[in-house]
Amino acid sequence: MTDNVHLGHRARKRFGQNFLHDDMIIDKIVTAIDPKPSDNLVEIGPGLGAITEPVTDLSGQLTVVELDKDLAERLTQHPFLGPKLTVHQGDAMKFDFASLIRDDEKLKVFGNLPYNVSTPLLFHLFEFVDNIEHMHFMLQKEVVKRMVAGPGSKAFGRLSVMTQYYCHAMPVIDVPPECFKPAPKVDSAVVRLIPKKPEQRTAKSTKLLNTVCLEAFNQRRKTLRNSLSNLLTADELTALGIDPSLRAESLSLTQFIDIANWIYDNKQ
């Protein structure tokens, strides 16, 4: 794949840059975000502003977090966009999103997330869900499939459990490769994430819930008796009403929470 020069900017592989240019898709994404002048909007990785421009047209202002110094500078200097933007040049994976809260106005976060960092970036954002009203992200289609997958599906895994622990997740729109420059080798999709209320998140330790998922899905072919043997016994699983001969993909989110909470109460 050759490097793409677009509006004087060369797409950088190390940042996972692929720039969206399909107007119909952009319009559908902006409609899903539904930006309003009163919104506290945050865009991660605005790139060349394909979504930034139509969103600011509707909202009047926007905060952006951009890793690429050149792109951050371009946005700051942009004759039309510049005055409407608050640009934070830096790594979104280290960014304190809670710092953007003003007047108790929750954030509406969106972006075209680089494929190479999408999962760790999502996990970072989950730490701020109580400050967020909703999120819309363009991701690799396979990642979106995993985020929204239910028990019994081959796509169901740690990302499914942890995403659905924090948020209601639903696919919004598929985005084929030709909508980007340069065209990626994979299909993309947009996902909508609506954070759950704190009282809906009943794990006593999300770190422990994540550990249970890591162990359970690390070797998917193994039964729970084997995959979770470092954490609890087959008898202890049975006492929780969980069949130890099942595989991880058969369990519900609630059952994963039950296991994590039992370990928290009994093994800490």
Edge-first strand order for the sheet with 62-66 is 85-89, 62-66, 40-44, 107-112, 132-140, 188-195, 167-175
Could you list the residues known to form a binding site, using ranges: 18, 20, 45, 66, 91, 112
Bridge partners of 110, per DSSP, are 43, 136
The annotation places the binding site for S-adenosyl-L-methionine at: 18, 20, 45, 66, 91, 112
194 beta partners: 168
Calpha distance 40→63 (Å, rounded): 8
Distances (CA, A) of 204 to 52, 165, 167, 198, 262: 38, 12, 17, 12, 9
Give the chain's end-to-end CA distance (angstroms, integer).
Answer: 51
Choose among 210, 248, 257: nearest CA to 228.
Answer: 248
The owner of tokens 């720039």 is 19
